[in-house]
Structure 1
Amino acid sequence: MNSQELKDKVLQVLENNKVGTLATVKNNRPHSRYMTFFNKELTLYTPTNKETHKAEEIEANPYVHILIGYQGEGVGDAYLEVEGKAEIQEDKELKEQFWNDYMKNWFDGPEDPEYIILKITPEQVRLMSKGDTTPQTLEL
């Protein structure tokens, strides 16, 4: 598969899956949690609270790992392994872009100072897809 076909498959997995795991490093050990991801041209965004452990962990070590796409149907489900670098974003436009009413459970609105966006810039994406025995790597 050429790089454009691989990129198209990666984008398809991101389009069809919003929930995945985000792993950070805490005390030299991985720390994972489920997050909701939004894709914009292979850059991933996820909302969170600035007072969470993940925000502290990213400030100490910005390198993260994301698993997204496995749907629990069994061996062979397509999913992605994303290695990237995270940044904390407090940009008003980004916060408004990714705001939805579901977040009212945690924040007063998009202007809430505790509400931040994590921007994850992938450095490498591995696609595991049905029938493949080894990952196909999209270098970025």
Structure 2
Amino acid sequence: MNKDNLKQQALEIIANHRTGVLANVENDKPHTRYMTFYNKDLTLYTPTQLDTEKVQELEKNPSASVLLGYEDKGVNDSYIEVSGKTIINQSQDLKQQFWDDSFNKWFAGPDDPNYVLLEVQPETIRILNNEGGPAQEFQV
């Protein structure tokens, strides 16, 4: 499968699965957590509080991996693994674009200085469990 087809398939999986797993490194060990992801041309964004441990962990080691998909008991679901670097993004435009009223539980609004986005800049994307075929991978 060519890169354009793989990219389109990855975009479809992302569009259908907002909740995923963010994995990074904490004290030289893997650390995972569920997060909500938003997509902008394969760059993933997830809201978080600036004063959380995940921000401190990612500032020490920006490498991260995200899993999205795989909800139907894993039998027939394709899913993706996005590996890349993560930065803390405080762009007011992006914060406004991705704001959801459900965030009011944690933030005073889109202008809250503690509301930031983790931006996962993809380097490699793997599509797995694709109709029983082997994993497909492409560089971004």
Segments ≥4 residues shifted beyond 4 Å? none
Per-residue deviation, 1:70: 1.0
Q: Secondary structure at the match of 1:14?
A: helix
2:45 aligned with 1:57: no
**Aligned ranges 1:1-140 → 2 under 5 Å:** 1-128=1-128, 129-132=130-133, 134-140=134-140
Q: When the two structures are aligned, how many residues end up with a matched partner?
A: 139
Distance 2:74 2:42 in 1: 26
AA at the equivalent of 1:47: P
Deviations 1:11-69 (A, max 9, x none): 11011110000011000001000000001111000000011111001100000011111
Distance 1:30 1:55 in 2: 15
Per-residue deviation, 1:83: 0.4
Q: Secondary structure at the match of 2:25?
A: strand
AA at the equivalent of 2:96: E
Distance 1:20 1:79 in 2: 10
Per-residue deviation, 1:76: 3.3
Identity of aligned residues (%): 46
AA at the equivalent of 1:117: L
TM-score, structure 2 length as denominator?
Answer: 0.96
